Amino acid sequence: MAVQILEKRRLLADQISFIIQGLEESVDQLQQKYDKIAPKYRKDLDQKKTDSKTISEFEKIRKELKEEKVQLDAAIRISKESDDAVSYWTRRVDEGIGELDYDHPDLMRFSKAVSAGKMSRIGIKHQNKRN
């Protein structure tokens, strides 16, 4: 089951790279448009033209560029998180649910504690609320 989920996750991670590439191209195109129209925009602002077509076009391009950059940053972050998740769960499949290292404690530690007669995490929280 975990192996199948990992395979699906890897396929999605591959798709994210294509999305990132498309967003990078889109950002580059918008940046070129932005750089081209910016001098005209500044000129119209200096001449105090508020109803200029250039100003509205510049504002539209700036808004689109900002949105594309936000989407690109999100896609890059998701790609990294996906790679980290695949790496983590691949290691879990290979090495099991026990303690792997300090950053990756035993996944069954709380279940084992309850089996040994200790309080569950929810029980501890309720007890702390009462005190």
Q: What is the pLDDT of residues 12-24, one digit of tens each?
A: 888 888 999 999 9
Reading the block at residue 25, the tokens are: 């191209």
Q: What is the pLDDT of residues 9-64, one digit of tens each?
A: 888 888 888 999 999 999 999 999 999 999 988 888 888 777 778 888 999 999 99
CA dihedral 36, 41, 42, 43 (to 10 degrees): 100
Mean pLDDT over 85-90 rounds to: 82
Cα 128 to Cα 42: distance, rounded to the nearest angstrom: 61
pLDDT of residue 28: 95
pTM (two decimals): 0.64
pLDDT of residue 1: 66
**Residue 58 burial (CB count, 10 A):** 20
Mean pLDDT of the chain: 85
Mean pLDDT is highest, among 61-70, 81-90, 107-116, for 61-70
Q: What is the pLDDT of residues 111-126, one digit of tens each?
A: 888 888 888 888 888 8
**Which three-class secondary structure string do you get for the chain?**
CHHHHHHHHHHHHHHHHHHHHHHHHHHHHHHHHHHHHHHHHHHHHHCCCCCCHHHHHHHHHHHHHHHHHHHHHHHHHHHHHHHHHHHHHHHHHHHCCCCCECCECCCCHHHHHHHCCCCCHHHHHHHHHHC
For residue 76, give every residue at least 6 positions away whose Cβ sits within 8 Å of its Cβ, in sequence order, or none.
20
Amino acid at 118: K
